Every structure is written in C-alpha cells, then in structure tokens.
Homo-oligomer: A and B are copies of this chain.
C-alpha cells in the first residue's frame, strides 16, 4: 500500500522502498525547465521568481514534462532558495540566486528567524495541492529542499561561484558560526519538507549540490551532521527521503551512515560501486551524464544500457541523470531516454 498512489502502483515509490516494481522508474533532474519550448514560452511572459510564487503557474510548469513523457514521478517546480526568502533573506534570481547581504557573522546567524512554512511560503504548499490534483494516476510528487551545507554556500558567497571559496574559507575561519548556521538551516529545511509532505508531497529530496567541494573530514564535521538532523526530524512522516550528493565519490562512506531511503549520485561514480558502498538498505538514483543526451541516438542507447547494467537488476534503482538537464538538450533525446529505460530497465 505504501507504494501505491491513488490506488495505482507506483514504480517510483516501490523503488524508493527497494521493492520490485512493474518497470524501472525514471525521472529527470530539473525535468521542468528551459529545455522545454512550452516552459520557455511561459518564461517569456513571467519571470522565474513569479513562476515559483504563483501556485497555478508553478503547478503548470511542474506538469508540463508529464504531458510529453511517461515519467514515473513529478518534482515540484521551485528553487532551493525559496524558503530562505520566506525567512527574510533578500535575494534575486539573475537567474541564479544572488543574496543581497551575504551571511558572514555570528550576529547575522543569530538574527535568522525560524521558518514557519504555512506562514512564510504558503504558495509552495498551495502549488503542491494543485499539482496533486493535476497529476496522472500512479505518478507521485516529489517535494524538495536544499541540503544545509549547499544553502550555506549560497548564503555565505552571495552568488554561485565555481569553487564557493568564501563558503569554504568560512568553515575553516569561523567553524563555530558555520555550525550554528548549519543547525539553523537543518531545522528550517526539516520544517519546510514536513510541511510539503503534509500538503501532499509523496517523497522528499534533499539536494546537496556542493558538498563535493569538501574533503571527507570537513564533510563529516559540517555537512553530514546537518543532513542527519534534517533527516531525523522527517523519519516520523513515513515518506521516502532521497539525498542527492553531487561530486561526492569520496563522501559516500559517510553518506552510507545517513538514515535516508535513496542516495542519488552524479555521473562520475559508477552505480555498482555506489551500491556496494551505501549497502543493501538504500536505493540508488542516477546517473547518466547529462552530456550523453547530445550523443547520436545509437550511442545514447549504449550509454543508457551501460547505466542500467551498472545499476544491476536488484530492486531499488531509480533512473535519472547524474545532474540537472542542460537547457540546450533536445526534448526528443529525453523521449528516447525515457522509452529506453522503460523497455530495457
């Protein structure tokens, strides 16, 4: 029953629980977005932030890829910085998030309020209710948040950067303040994700986009305890929890200790190794190189087959890209990918 959605079995939820499903489930990181002409048409009229804050539009964008492709899950269209706006952080999307006053001091951390999702980001919860009403039977909705260290990267640096140097220097130069900030973010994301589940999200995902900038020692000291704190608060919900860690090959032994249902990985860690490291109690998600979608159709088939082979035939694999889809990807390549996973997986 846990793996059914509206009375129909969900291959995605079954895989989250490492149960056999009717087929290999597949969805695409940032499956709603700029590679779709219908998304670009909407964005020509409405800016990114308005899309995330207007439930009807956020729901429309969330559902767009489901109309094109027989995907096994939907993921809410939103941004990892949205709940921080709700906590009073002033930021703009250019289109990447830019924080007006980067956080660098203990006083700034202490001034951060707790998040109350229903009060601070009601439009997110309303978007979830609208998506649920519009989703095809058997397709569950994934809610999501940024993992605490990844959010810290944006808050401390102010804008995305290749190396997030200021954030990493912050950990080394002000470790106690960094821990305070991570704790605050861990609690806020627990509240945020719990509210998403209450509103109707059937799985929850934490995006750890930048922990791969940390050595294993600093990951274990800073990022990991914060994720553990968020995850612990969510266990009582009984909703599958996915932790995606980008560029995390050397962090996986630590990730294996986390109480999450699914570990998502980037394209650089072969899935057979990931399965071996995280152990039989976790499902895995991934991990085709987004660049592979630029291969000729015959080559793409070989690349998809290689990921399926690495994942093996045991239950508990959700097919996905290893990172977000690129805006210049051909939607026809996505269609071929989804079909092939369903045929062969």
Contacts and interface: CB of A to CB of B under 8 A. Distances in A.
Contact of A215 (B162, B216, B267, B299): B267
Nearest to A164: B291
Given A162-B162, A173-B296, A168 B270 contact: no
A218 interface: yes
A308 to B, nearest CB: 14
Interface residues of A, number: 36
The dominant DSSP class at the A interface is: helix
A172 interface: yes
A22 to B, nearest CB: 29
A233 interface: no
Nearest to A307: B215
A126 interface: no
A171 interface: yes
Given A173-B295, A217-B306, A250-B249, A268 B212 contact: yes
A290 B292 CA distance: 32
B249 A294 contact: no
Contacts of A50: none
What are the 8 tightest A-B residue pairs by CB atom distance, in nearest-first order? A168-B291, A169-B294, A249-B249, A172-B295, A173-B294, A249-B250, A172-B294, A215-B267
